[in-house]
Amino acid sequence: MNFQAIKVIFQYEMLRTWETMFQSVASPVLSTSLYFIVFGSAIGSRIQSIEGVSYGMFIVPGLTMLTLLTQSIANASFGIFFPKFSGSIYEIHSAPISFFEILVGYVGAAATKSLIIGFIILLTASFFVDLNIAHPVWMMTFLILTCVSFSLFGFIIGLWADDFEKLQIIPLLVITPLVFLGGSFYSVSMLPPFWQTVTMFNPVVYLISGFRWSFFEVSDVSVGVSLSVILVFLATCIAVVGWMFKTGYRIKQ
Amino acid sequence: MQAIVSIKNLSKVYDSGHRALNDINLDIAEGEILALLGPNGAGKTTLISIICGIVSASSGSVTVNGFDNVTDYRCSRELIGLVPQELTLNAFDTVMNGIRFSRGLFGRKKDDAYLERLLKELSLLDKKNAELRELSGGMKRRVLIAKALSHEPRILFLDEPTAGVDVELRKDMWNIVRRLRDSGVTIILTTHYIEEAEEIADRIGVISKGELLLVEDKQALMHELGKKQLIIELKEAVSHLPSSLADYDLALSGEGRKLIYTYDTTGDSTGITALLQAIHNEGLTLKDLQTTQSSLEDIFVDLVRINPSPPEQQKVLA
């Protein structure tokens, strides 16, 4: 095992985060604050509490997930795409390092960065609402599983993309709508029956529901189902990455 | 010869169907400078990329110091440093950070003292905290060399190291290569600059259309394949070659004032004495004599002509 290589990839990626501190940290904090001001304070004050939870508090898990998902994908996809784009990927290919070690370095860094941002968002939220976490261990479990699995997903996108458009297309056109329609700002039970059924095909519903349960013990689906869905997604991403590494698809000629 | 790199029956066919390499066999001796010479698209970069692990071979094998480069890839890659043809660098990275990263990728612990010595040797020490986007093309190429040497490899691959650099920098680069060879590093460089191979290589391999046409000691190659020409300048011009000189490999040029005699230096007799006697017997008066020897470029062009490249490659050569 080339631990030194994992370490330098991790440090290199984290260094990139610190060098782009404003884009990496300030931007999600600012956008989250704006969501709280607009949805939490301005609109939220006119909305009744949902299942006993004030609207301002209710949207905290959804907002955190919104940022976590987009950041995990963006960090991991850009991390591996940029060396491909600049051509410096040759160093990774010619180094005595396995695909698994490459994966641990890049995905580990992306997930760590997302995790840090997640905590910053929760900290930001605590300035706007009185935040209580009913199940901190489950909250951490959902947070880590989400960061790792969506960083893996981002890594797949980064390997697959051969231009900037492809790099952006899935986060913009798939992930963002799924998160917005996945119950970030509302409970699924507030929808008409038909749309409730449709919404259940959205995997993000299960992530947000499980995460929200860890805060308020309020959920749209059972926590076991939420956990199963995220584990299935994680296993699928691992299988796809494994297949890409084994066949060299978009990696090696 | 103690081979540090051994290539057996190596072939590469890309998904597009293009056969880039065809049954290459090559042993590279430890401590030598081997120049792989060939026109664009000949397969030089593909060959290097397979040895370094960037491209997969379709068939055949590569061993580096006895380690198979697929099954024992960690052991084989540890020994290799690669300087790619393109200036493939993260423009926003600093020089020092970039070479620390490269060293770490090869499993080496941080050693800034060594890296600073390396930068000093490459005249980059004063730029160690500079961002790569601030550097000139020549400096970026030196950074690529520093990255390749950051893990102290025993074998260095240089893919077109002087492509697009000016004459002064090219000579500077040759000096770096010589110094590395003197320190015991085996160097394999690809080039399509004949003078580069002629200047610094110990052995020369010629690749064309994915075939390794020959691998030969440079001096032996030039001796074996080299032709000499004797240029005989006449005092008075002749309109045609006299019939008594028809048996010699002569050409008339310079508006009838020059006879060019091509001869083989490896033959038992060059025929020069007999030719001069025949010229004297014909009553022609000599003004001057001059000999020239064919360069590596002539040899290369002859070899590739025998094994013609596709039209686009011939255009590049021209």
Smallest Cα distance from B16 to chain A, Å:
11
| pLDDT at position B271 | 84
pLDDT score for B267: 67
Task: Give whichever of B95-109, B151-165, B180-194 has the largest mean pLDDT.
Answer: B95-109
Q: Provide the residue ranges of all domains of chain A, joining segments of one domain with +.
A: 3-247
- Rounded to whole angstroms, the Cα distance separating B38 from B25 reads 16
Q: For chain B, which residues make up each domain, given as ranges?
A: 3-223, 227-293
Identify which has the larger pLDDT, B105 or B198.
B105
What is the crossing angle of helices B95-105 and A3-19, to 10°? 150
CA B309 to chain centre: 18
Q: Is the pLDDT of residue B235 over 70?
A: yes
Per-residue pLDDT at A145: 93
Q: Do A253 and B15 touch (CB under 8 A)?
A: yes
- The amino acid sitting at A133 is I
Tell me which fold the domain B3-223 belongs to: Rossmann fold (3.40.50)
CA A97/CA B75 separation, integer angstroms: 10
Higher-pLDDT residue of B94 and A45 is B94
Which tokens sit at A103? Answer: 């994966």
Higher pLDDT, B185 or B248: B185
Half-sphere exposure of residue B86: CA atoms within 13 angstroms, side-chain side: 11
The pLDDT of residue A32: 81
B100·A8 Cβ contact <8 A? yes
Instruction: Look over chain B and give the mean of its residue pLDDT values, rounded to a whole number.
Output: 85
Most confident of A21-35, B17-31, B152-166: B17-31
Q: Is the pLDDT of residue B221 over 80?
A: no
The more confidently predicted of residues B235 and A44 is B235
Q: How many CB atoms lie within 10 A of CB A215?
A: 24
Structure tokens at A62: 């959804």
- DSSP bridge pairs for B204: B35, B216
Band the pLDDT of B313: cuts 50, 70, 90.
Answer: very low
Residues of B within 8 A of A82 (CB-CB) are: 90
Task: Say if the Cβ atoms of A4 and B147 lie within 8 Å.
Answer: no
pLDDT tier at B310, thresholds 50, 70, 90: very low
Q: Which residues contact B205 (CB under 8 A, 6 or more apart)?
A: B26, B34, B35, B36, B37, B212, B214, B215, B216
Task: Give the C-alpha separation, B140 to B131, whole Å.
Answer: 10
Nearest residue to B97 (alpha-carbon basis) of A43, A14, A125? A14
Q: Kindly state the average pLDDT of the residues B184-196.
A: 85
DSSP per-residue letters across B121-155? HTT-GGGTTSBGGGS-HHHHHHHHHHHHHTT--SE
Say what the pTM is: 0.80
Categorize the per-residue pLDDT at B307 as very low, low, confident or very high, splitting at 50, 70 and 90.
low
* Predicted local confidence at residue B312, as pLDDT: 39
Residues comprising chain B, all counted: 318
Calculate mean pLDDT across residues B200-224.
Answer: 85
Residue B89 in this model has a pLDDT that exceeds 70: yes
- Residue by residue, DSSP assigns chain B as --EEEEEEEEEEE-TTS-EEEEEEEEEEETT-EEEEE--TTSSHHHHHHHHHTSS--SEEEEEETTEETTTTHHHHHHTEEEE-SS----TTSBHHHHHHHHHHHTTPPP-HHHHHHHHHHTT-GGGTTSBGGGS-HHHHHHHHHHHHHTT--SEEEEESTTTT--HHHHHHHHHHHHHHHHTT-EEEEEES-HHHHHHH-SEEEEEETTEEEEEEEHHHHHHHH-EEEEEEEESS--SS--GGGTTS-EEEETTTTEEEEEEETTSS---HHHHHHHHHHTT--EEEEEEEE--HHHHHHHHHHHSPPPHHHHHHH-
Q: Cα–Cα distance between B81 and B187 in angstroms, integer?
A: 10
Contacts of B22 (CB under 8 A, 6+ apart): B11, B209, B210, B211
The token pair at B18 is 């293009």
CA distance B213 to chain A (A): 25
Chain A contact probe: residue of B74, B105, B157 with most A CBs at under 10 A: B105
Those residues with Cβ within 8 angstroms of residue A43's Cβ, 6 or more apart along the chain or in another chain: A55
Q: How many CA atoms lie within 13 A of B76 on its CB side?
A: 23
Are B80 and A87 inside 8 Å of each other by CB? no
Q: What is the pLDDT along chain A (253 residues), one digit of tens a residue?
A: 889 999 999 999 998 878 777 777 788 788 888 888 887 777 777 777 787 788 888 888 888 888 889 889 988 999 999 888 888 888 998 999 988 899 999 999 999 999 998 998 888 888 888 888 899 999 999 999 999 999 999 999 999 998 889 888 888 888 888 888 888 888 888 888 888 888 888 888 998 889 999 998 888 888 899 999 999 999 999 999 989 888 877 777 7
**Contact criterion met (CB below 8 Å) for B61 and B68:** yes
Q: Does B204 touch chain A (CB under 8 A)?
A: no
Distance, CA of B207 to CA of B307 (rounded, Å): 10
Instruction: Give the best residue of A85, A88, A97, A249 to mutate against chain B (max B CB count within 10 A).
Output: A88
- The predicted-structure confidence for A32-63, as pLDDT tens digits, reads as follows 888 888 877 777 777 777 877 888 888 888 88
Q: What is the pLDDT of residues B44-85, one digit of tens each?
A: 999 999 999 989 999 999 999 999 999 999 999 999 999 998
Task: Give yes or no for a contact between B108 and B149, defined as CB atoms under 8 angstroms apart.
Answer: no
- pLDDT cut 90: percent of chain B above it: 34
**Chain B residues near residue A2 by CB distance under 8 angstroms:** 74, 105, 107
Does residue B108 register a pLDDT over 50? yes
Q: Is A103 on the interface with B (CB under 8 A)?
A: no
- Give domain B227-293's CATH architecture: 2-Layer Sandwich (3.30)
pLDDT at B316: 34
The ipTM, to two decimals, is: 0.83
| Nearest Cα to Cα of residue B11 among B21, B25, B1, B26 | B21
A101 to chain B: which residues are within 8 Å by CB? none
